[in-house]
Structure 1
Amino acid sequence: MNARPSILALILSALSLGASELHWQNGEWLGGHFVGAEDGHVTWRSPMFSEDFEVRIDALRRINRFKTDSKTDEPFSIHLADGSCLYGSITGLDAKTLRIKSARAGSFQVLRDTIVSIHHLKVPDAPLPALAGTSGWTEPPSPNHSSTSQKLWRMVPGASLQQVGWNRSASLPLQLPEKLEMQIRLRSSVRPEFKIELSAPGAQRMVVETWIDDVVLQGRIFEKLQTLGDNDHRLELTLFWNRTTGLCAVYDSKGRKIFETSKPPVNETRQQPEKKAAAKQPQKEKAEEGGGIFGALLGVVKEAAQARIEAMQQPRETPAADEESPASPGVTLLNKGPDLTLEDLRIRSWDGSLPSDIITSRPQIALTDGRILKASPVRADSDSVTVRGQGGKETRLPWDKVLALELVTESSPFHQAAPPLTEMWFTDGEWINGTLLHVRNEVASFKTTFSEEPVHFKISALHHLDFSGFKSPAEDKTDLASLDKLTISKNSLHGTLDAGGEAQPRWKPVGGLKPVPLVTAGEIEITRAAPAEPAVTSTDALFYLQDGDVLPGKLRAIDSRQIDLDSQFSSIRHLPAERLMAIQFGGESLKLEGFEDPGWQQVRGDSKTVTRKGKDAIDFEPGGSWGHPSFMQVHELSFLLHNNSFSALRLRLFCDGFSTTSPSTNLLFAHMGSEVCFGLESSGNQMDRQFRIRTKAAMPVRIAVAENAVEVFFNGVSARKITLSTKMRSGLGLVLEPFNLWGNGERKVSISSFTARITPGRVAAPVVNSLAREHALTVPRFRKEDPPRHALLAANGDILRGVIEAATADHFAVRSGLENIQVPRDRVKAAVWLVKPFDDINAAFEARDKEQSPPLITHWLLLNNGGRLGLKVTRFAEDSVFGTSPLLGECHVPLPQIHGIRSTTPPDSSAMLALRDWKLKFAPEPVLPESGGQSSPLLNQEAKPFKLPLLSGGDFDLSQEKGKVIVLDFWATWCGPCIKSLPQLIDSMSPFDSKLVRFIGVNQAEDKETVKAFLETRGWTFEVALDAAQRVGQSFGVEGIPHTVVIGPDGRIAYIKTGYESDGAEKIAQAVKKLLKK
């Protein structure tokens, strides 16, 4: 789809910036707007759909709306038995209900029996009367998180603050009173490990933290408070601190005083305590501890004990690291363990008098002056609360004198709501637990255990809705691989494609009530679920067009003007030759189950070393191997590797047929007793970066093959993903064989359940040797007026260039040079249309053509057989897609043959990349004689080392020729001046001692057979190196031939001559003699 950038930008911004998020049970999510909820489903609006869509709540996990936090303006927080936390003003209380009024929920009643506690949030002398949301809490940046805005501390039910992770802190800036009381209650899934620090101006600090299993106090002194056992998962303490006098006392969870001290005020200018030299203990002989395991264990115990002593001693002798830069005034909580929950934290002013014990029984009334009354509330209005003490006496207390009402110690399970439930969180920490009835006009209605009537909340400050305990129906538990996938701006959403007869497809997400149409703009991709038997995964031919279309069809004929074809997808029967890029021909489909395909054969050994067992199992003995010359068209291999004690299996992927010398990707699998190992083969019969898994059983192995990578799985778990380079593949061959790993020799290996899979739409790229391609694209200057126009690619990588004079369904008639060749069609894997070398005029016309408006394309259809069509779709029908193309005309594609639909141009496949941009280039032009090249900037420079193959076999390596004079003559068989100069140069070089002087003719961009035939015809004998890609010629500044370079014994360029002169050979010989005299 040719979407306007402004529309696309609008859609992307709506999906990301400030948008709500709808999260499914399967982990997927979609941005958009929460419209409402009704009758067990949610209504959602997304810019990617032209209509709102509805999804069942039982298919969803949560809805995120605002990720920020805020502070409530309400005066009270009410904590309930089901974990809910409500904010509001108290308007009344009787024996049955508490009446609340809030800006968010209006007036409503809460059943009194469901109330756990009530906290006054507007107390002047209490910096922190109760926990109320995450507003104000800050977290330092983590080295593991690039975004400092991500909060790892979060509110959880019960108005608690929780963090799951290690070594993360949260701070709340507060102005601490001179005399304060702090109550704290912590819990963890294990023994709590924490540090809580109170910081005041003047570098005054008070710290309570854990050291191993001890809870210690640090401030003016260091003191152990209590020891925690492994089963102690909760800790509750009350701390009193007079910053002026130094008085400090700590009370435990039962209200008993466990520590008290009074120290004079600390001078703000701290002096570092003098470190005491540790007394040297006489070193005892290890024999005293005993040898063997007992002695080692005793040493470990002593080391642990010493570490504990040092840990306890260090705070006494050394100030904390951050004392030099005191923290901002307030409170900081650090989680030192796997998880930590702050259930309660209160900080208020204290009158300076220590209580003998703290009342911990419930009910109780905490007053702002520090007193605690053993009483329970009887009645209340908006101004005061009346409480009744143990003797029956009633007392009226103004609300501004009340800090908290604690009604019960533990909440009753009778008031816990039964699942399925919806949890509703607001940005200020208010939390409601219950059954969501509906959401209409930004108001959510809940049925709860704490109210007889539904309660209605405005959701303008909604943080998120969490759906828990819902059971998805059976149809939603389908494996995601069996569903279609919609990709929107890199977010994926599984569901079902619905072709509703319109110009845009419809989409039904998981749990959706009905399909909705997609919008006409934006980057959208739909991937169809792969059926067990994909419809039509192969075709007779693929016609690659210049504009990016790949049309499946059958070739009927080719002439100089057009290509005749048949295609079930297009009404067109003729294609202009200039619009074609290439034709790729398919063959018979591979048999993927077992080793039944005819291409499988024994590569090494005999019938005793390779034994077939059924259609999918093989036993290998040492010396045997089994292979297929073109099996790596597949995109997944799987088999069962059996345990044959100590044995190794090698898989050679992407080899050239069965060649042992061509590049390949060699995977090694080994059973080593109780372990299975995997890695890439490295030199010396080694395995690099070993992946190991403990098992004695047969191991299921799966190898997934992507465009440029291979990923290996053991029993469904990824072992390693390997990125493929050009040096790791040369063909489509696959060979399986035993391997001599780590010098253990080849041993018996057994595999079974061998199978393969081909991904719909993937087509194997033709195998093309890079040197052969370079040679095919290099055109001699004498062919400038009649360059080759086509190249035929064979299955083995051979290339025939020339002009296709004609073609039928059975053969090609090709003119190559002066020869006319008939090539059977079944020997051709691809035919490529070559591009002429561009001059300035060609380039200008091409640039103008590219500036023209492209045709309107609404969708790209990706087909199972490798085809792809860019169409203006007119209708997505129930069984087919209909559309038009300026070149292909009316098109009709059956829906089962489509594996993907995109709104933007798809990336080029590996096959397209291999067949694109076959641009010809001209070989260097012969030049007239000039100054001998003595003005070249290369003179006296170090010659660049190179290595080229020799016509007679072996290589010429310049780096190995130091100490000799080297004469390089760059030439070609079609170059007239070269042919004139070579005989003279051969004669002038022959008198020199071959141990002192070496003459090499460096042929430019011609194949071995052409050069060999040329020399044999003329009877010339001299060493010839083949510079097929002309890269060596380029490095020596060759712009025309003949071109001669003389390199001295010191490796520097001493003489350069370009062009032909009658005495040129004599001048070169003189230059050589001059170098030999030095």
Structure 2
Amino acid sequence: MIDLTSSLEMAGLRRLGIPVRRVTFLLISSLVAAASVSAETPSNVSPQAVLHLTNGDYITGSLTPSANPETFGWLSPVFTQPLAFELAGVQSIHFPMPDKLPTHAGDYCVTRTGSDVLFGSLVGMDPQSVVLDVNHLGRVTIDRSTVLRLFRIKGNAELFFVGPNGLNGWKASGAEEGWREDAGSLVAEKAGATLYRDFGMPSLARIEFELSWSSQPSFEFAIGVNDEARTVMRAFSFEAWENDIIVKREGEKLADIASLQSNIGKSGRIHFQAFLDQQNGRLLVYSSEGKDLGELNVPLADPKTYGGLQLTNRSGNIRLESLRISRWNGDLPLQVANDQSRIHFRDGKIVYGSIASFDAAAREFIVGEGADATRIPEDQIQDVFLSQAEEVPPPPLRVAFFEGHKLSGSLIDTSEGKIRLKVPGIQEIVTVPTEQLQSLFAVAPQTEQTGTQDSAHPRGRLEAKGTRLHGSLVDTPENTSQPLVWLANRSNTPVPLKPGLSARIVYREPPPSVASETIEMQQQVAQARLRARRGGGLVGQIQSLFTDGEPGNKKKKSSRTSEAVLHLRTGDKLPCKMVNVDEKGVLLESDVSEIKFVPNEEVQALELIPDAPATQIQSLKRQRLLTLPRMQRDNPPTHLIRSVDGDYLRGRLISLDAEQLQIELRLDPKIIRRDRIVRILWLHPDSAEDGDDPKAQESAAEVNAEEGYIQALQNDGNRLTFTPEKLSGEILTGRSAVLGTCRVNLQQVDQILSGDAVKLAAAGLPFHDWKLKPAAEPLAPSEGSEESGEGQDSSLVGKPAPDINLNMLDGTKFKLADHKQKVVVLDFWASWCGPCLQVMPQIDKVAHEFADQGVELFAVNLEESPDKIKGALERLKLSTTVVMDSNGRIAERYGATSIPQTVIIDREGNVARVFVGGGARFDERLRSALTAVLAGEAPKSPAAAE
């Protein structure tokens, strides 16, 4: 024993050259690291098969018939016809996982050279062959020289698991998508990828496993654990340390370590048998041939039996090739002469000798010949080892079944739902149903470019759901209705893209675009100073922001020469040499389109100074600009105008010419110099949030969205959306419902979008998220409802009243700050609210009773026109002073989401009471509240009121 408090650390022993096969030491807490375990299920199950190419591309779909053994036919939902991929360019095919994995069928598991595995019923065996009846494959005659081992599984109550059989049933965690299936093995290539499964192992278990790697390995394989990290800390763990494979265990007071294999290299594999005794804290490790490699004895104070295993990839890569778990009787395994044929009995006994044959009728193995022959009933047998076979170069393909079969061979052909293989060492042609396949893997795929490479057309990358394919668009064939035809790398066959496909073709990744308006940008100093000098509200600032004038007044012409840029609702962006606007649409001249007019319903924005510096707009201001008051819903604003100073104006654009813009602001026309305008945004009623304008379906953008339309993103930043008609060389032509004939050079295109990808891209473009939102409708309590309480439940009570600066019905201004030393009553109401009209006369009566004590009443109307307000007051025969909250901002500040709401503000300007609702006897509650407020009684806190 080594006391580590006064000696060397375990991890440094071999670095110092100490020849230690096994070291037992006292545990110190600094060497304990808890592993992180999660119970996430891998989400790699696809409803279709996925074909992976050697260049990293992939495509979902299904195999199609092909008589050429050098190609795979592949039908994808992305294309209208099957593709043909050269076998040399295919890396793997992963088939969709069934709802329930099949179990191993048959009596035996047979392992062959090249890591082939077959499960089936043993039909016969002689000196030349082994015959199996394999589920879904039929009778298979195997050259005996390729058979390594027969393991009996039927009637073997000691057997718990044979696999790994794909990811189904395992729990992956750590690195995202860290584990994948590959030809029946489980592979991790990302650091931190962890795999766990509970097999229900007994306390005495035999675990036979095979791991391999192709780069410097660093892994941890813990046995006898559950899904809690603390059990991994105390488990027996196989690990790769630098160039050695070790096994260790760290208990509460003791720890033990054994070196199992040295000089493992950057590429290699291990095949071990572990005999585990969890209750006694004992582990014996043997090679696959039965050689004793090491033993650990580290009992725990409170031993428990856990039935799971956990494999973690720390760096490099790791592959779980095979795993077999069975019950162990506790006896020490016998030493094995692994170069001889032998039979292992279930009771641990071993019989050596030439295994002559198998009597299928008697279900007995015959060992020896003639008078010396011995018959052994198969129900006594666990393993049959034949003579060691020579390894041969692997065939080009390897297939893995959901049932656990693994076969390597050469492709003959594919037909409907089947693959035919020629497997070395098997007499019959193996016909494999694709519905039974888990994966197909190229054993030695080529990495160089294969397939026809088209050099006459720009090369790009096609991306769609479940698909990434490098290649190029090629010339449109004559007499075809599909103008876009794709020739993929690793394929010799150009195929048409499916119309309406949501996809993109990337020729160059464009630089990230910067939105013209962003609240993150810090360009506020000059703008703040300018506003401080101007003062006043937005409408009142028009004279200083813009230079107003009467129609016909001549202004100094702008010296700017940059083109304007027109943005369409489809996402199109095109430069314009001359732009005028009237009430019907935009008149323009552009080099990229023959069209001279675009109707207003298709326009998203017009940039008159495209290179103007971006400015920040506060989120609250933006929200106000895009909030549509109730009173304006019948006549909403149609445009937002941004000035060179960064301010915005909202109204109805009447016209724009080379000199000036005419806009209607609340029925009042204004004239603004054109050179003071950066951009104009169109506010469409059909794009408004919660909008239901039936005209939305009538726009040309909807017509343009028919199947087959695309959008070309050019490297100058312009975009064109059109239905393609023909590609010839580098020139793609088509027609737009908005812009007419379009023509783009693919050498000048960064990306081509199609289908829903166009809509998704447009939604993220600058200006496309500027949409009107109707102001929230205040809720009205039911008729006759009465609110209990004393009006002190609101969070506003006891706090300074939010400021108010609004117009009144008579045209004068109301400022709450002008009414200090008064008790102010605010009655939030609307003419469409029945309870409001019921309670208003009561509020008016009580306010008059207290008028000589300094109580003032103001009825705050929510977003209604003066005519509706006057009509309601006439019906009620009231002369109450009305304040007009035209856009609902004041109601929002006072939390008036339900009306009627009555607010009492004391002489210090603090909110004293808030009542929501009313009722027939509301006057009594209001009278009592005003008496208390006038007497100076402090309001209770909301908590006290409860």
Taking a change above 3 Å as real, the CA distance of residues 889 and 771 of structure 1, as seen in their structure-2 partners, is same
Letter matched to residue 431 of structure 1: K
SS in 1 for 2:149: strand
Q: 2:396 aligns with which of 417, 421, 445?
A: 421
Partner of 2:494: 515
Partner of 2:812: 978
Letter matched to residue 114 of structure 1: T
Q: 2:646 aligns with which of 797, 800, 809?
A: 797
What are the within-5 Å matches in structure 2 for residues 362-401 of structure 1? 362-366=339-343, 371-378=349-356, 387-388=367-368, 394-395=372-373, 397=375, 400=378
Taking a change above 3 Å as real, the CA distance of residues 942 and 780 of structure 1, as seen in their structure-2 partners, is same
Whole-Å separation in 1 of the counterparts to 2:818 and 2:277 = 104
Letter matched to residue 24 of structure 1: L
Q: 1:98 aligns with which of 97, 114, 129?
A: 129
Whole-Å separation in 2 of the counterparts to 1:132 and 1:487 = 39
Letter matched to residue 566 of structure 1: E
Taking a change above 3 Å as real, the CA distance of residues 919 and 554 of structure 1, as seen in their structure-2 partners, is farther
Q: 2:476 aligns with which of 474, 478, 500?
A: 500
Residues 366 and 372 in structure 1, CA contact (< 8 A), matched pair in contact too? yes
Residues 970 and 1044 in structure 1, CA contact (< 8 A), matched pair in contact too? no
Whole-Å separation in 1 of the counterparts to 2:285 and 2:692 = 87
SS in 1 for 2:447: coil
What are the within-5 Å matches in structure 2 for residues 569-968 of structure 1? 569-577=592-600, 580-585=603-608, 587=610, 630=613, 656=615, 730=616, 771=621, 774=624, 790-800=639-649, 806-809=655-658, 812=661, 821=671, 823-825=673-675, 827-833=676-682, 857-858=706-707, 859-864=709-714, 868=719, 871-895=722-746, 896-897=748-749, 899-904=751-756, 905-907=758-760, 908-913=762-767, 916-917=770-771, 941=792
- The count of residues paired between Structure 1 and Structure 2 equals 713
Letter matched to residue 117 of structure 2: C
Letter matched to residue 79 of structure 1: T
Partner of 1:1032: 890
1:78 is the counterpart of 2:110: yes
| 1:902 shift after superposition | 1.6
Letter matched to residue 978 of structure 1: T
Cα deviation, 1:264-289, whole Å, max 9, x if unaligned, reads xxxxxxxxxxxxxxxxxxxxxxxxxx
Q: 1:489 aligns with which of 440, 452, 465?
A: 465
Residues 970 and 1003 in structure 1, CA contact (< 8 A), matched pair in contact too? no
Letter matched to residue 511 of structure 1: R
Whole-Å separation in 2 of the counterparts to 1:76 and 1:142 = 30
| 1:57 shift after superposition | 3.0
Taking a change above 3 Å as real, the CA distance of residues 850 and 214 of structure 1, as seen in their structure-2 partners, is closer
Taking a change above 3 Å as real, the CA distance of residues 939 and 790 of structure 1, as seen in their structure-2 partners, is farther
Whole-Å separation in 2 of the counterparts to 1:447 and 1:871 = 50
Whole-Å separation in 2 of the counterparts to 1:52 and 1:70 = 30
Q: Give TM-score, length-normalised by structure 2.
A: 0.58
Whole-Å separation in 2 of the counterparts to 1:152 and 1:877 = 43
Taking a change above 3 Å as real, the CA distance of residues 255 and 113 of structure 1, as seen in their structure-2 partners, is closer
Whole-Å separation in 2 of the counterparts to 1:983 and 1:355 = 94
1:472 is the counterpart of 2:503: no
Whole-Å separation in 2 of the counterparts to 1:137 and 1:779 = 57
Residues 484 and 496 in structure 2, CA contact (< 8 A), matched pair in contact too? yes
Q: Give TM-score, length-normalised by structure 1.
A: 0.52
Residues 290 and 338 in structure 2, CA contact (< 8 A), matched pair in contact too? no
* 5+ long unaligned stretches in structure 1: 1-14, 158-162, 198-206, 219-223, 261-307, 323-331, 589-628, 633-655, 657-729, 731-766, 925-934, 947-957, 990-996, 1006-1025, 1057-1070
Residues 806 and 885 in structure 2, CA contact (< 8 A), matched pair in contact too? no
Taking a change above 3 Å as real, the CA distance of residues 20 and 977 of structure 1, as seen in their structure-2 partners, is closer
SS in 2 for 1:484: strand
Taking a change above 3 Å as real, the CA distance of residues 16 and 509 of structure 1, as seen in their structure-2 partners, is farther
1:529 is the counterpart of 2:508: yes
Whole-Å separation in 2 of the counterparts to 1:982 and 1:372 = 103
| 1:44 shift after superposition | 0.9
1:40 is the counterpart of 2:70: yes
What are the within-5 Å matches in structure 2 for residues 325-364 of structure 1? 332=307, 334-335=309-310, 359-364=336-341
Partner of 1:463: 438
Partner of 1:312: 299
Partner of 1:271: none
Residues 163 and 322 in structure 2, CA contact (< 8 A), matched pair in contact too? no
Whole-Å separation in 2 of the counterparts to 1:340 and 1:463 = 17
| 1:167 shift after superposition | 7.4
Q: 2:84 aligns with which of 34, 54, 59?
A: 54
Taking a change above 3 Å as real, the CA distance of residues 396 and 30 of structure 1, as seen in their structure-2 partners, is same
Whole-Å separation in 1 of the counterparts to 2:80 and 2:672 = 57
Residues 710 and 721 in structure 2, CA contact (< 8 A), matched pair in contact too? yes
Taking a change above 3 Å as real, the CA distance of residues 359 and 969 of structure 1, as seen in their structure-2 partners, is closer
Taking a change above 3 Å as real, the CA distance of residues 28 and 514 of structure 1, as seen in their structure-2 partners, is same
Taking a change above 3 Å as real, the CA distance of residues 433 and 131 of structure 1, as seen in their structure-2 partners, is farther
Taking a change above 3 Å as real, the CA distance of residues 586 and 883 of structure 1, as seen in their structure-2 partners, is farther
Residues 119 and 129 in structure 1, CA contact (< 8 A), matched pair in contact too? no
Work out the percentage of aligned pairs sharing the same amino acid: 14
| 1:52 shift after superposition | 0.8
Whole-Å separation in 1 of the counterparts to 2:892 and 2:92 = 64
Residues 500 and 754 in structure 2, CA contact (< 8 A), matched pair in contact too? no
Whole-Å separation in 2 of the counterparts to 1:918 and 1:32 = 43
Segment drifting more, 23-32 vs 129-138: 129-138
Partner of 2:230: none
Cα deviation, 1:294-332, whole Å, max 9, x if unaligned, reads xxxxxxxxxxxxxx99x6341xxx35277xxxxxxxxx5
Letter matched to residue 334 of structure 1: L
Residues 566 and 573 in structure 1, CA contact (< 8 A), matched pair in contact too? yes
| 1:454 shift after superposition | 8.0
SS in 1 for 2:309: strand
Q: 1:64 aligns with which of 55, 77, 94?
A: 94
| 1:51 shift after superposition | 0.7
Residues 570 and 701 in structure 2, CA contact (< 8 A), matched pair in contact too? no
Partner of 2:848: none
Whole-Å separation in 1 of the counterparts to 2:721 and 2:371 = 87
Residues 358 and 365 in structure 2, CA contact (< 8 A), matched pair in contact too? yes
Whole-Å separation in 1 of the counterparts to 2:790 and 2:283 = 89
| CA root-mean-square deviation | 6.6
| 1:465 shift after superposition | 0.8
Letter matched to residue 23 of structure 1: H
* 5+ long unaligned stretches in structure 2: 1-43, 226-233, 240-245, 263-269, 514-560, 779-785, 823-853, 863-883, 916-929, 938-946
Whole-Å separation in 1 of the counterparts to 2:730 and 2:450 = 23
1:20 is the counterpart of 2:49: yes
Partner of 2:516: none
| 1:426 shift after superposition | 1.8
SS in 2 for 1:312: coil
| 1:231 shift after superposition | 3.5
| 1:810 shift after superposition | 6.1
SS in 1 for 2:812: helix
Cα deviation, 1:864-909, whole Å, max 9, x if unaligned, reads 3555555444445544444445544444444444622221251344
Whole-Å separation in 2 of the counterparts to 1:313 and 1:470 = 49
Taking a change above 3 Å as real, the CA distance of residues 181 and 39 of structure 1, as seen in their structure-2 partners, is closer
Taking a change above 3 Å as real, the CA distance of residues 569 and 153 of structure 1, as seen in their structure-2 partners, is closer
Taking a change above 3 Å as real, the CA distance of residues 550 and 519 of structure 1, as seen in their structure-2 partners, is same
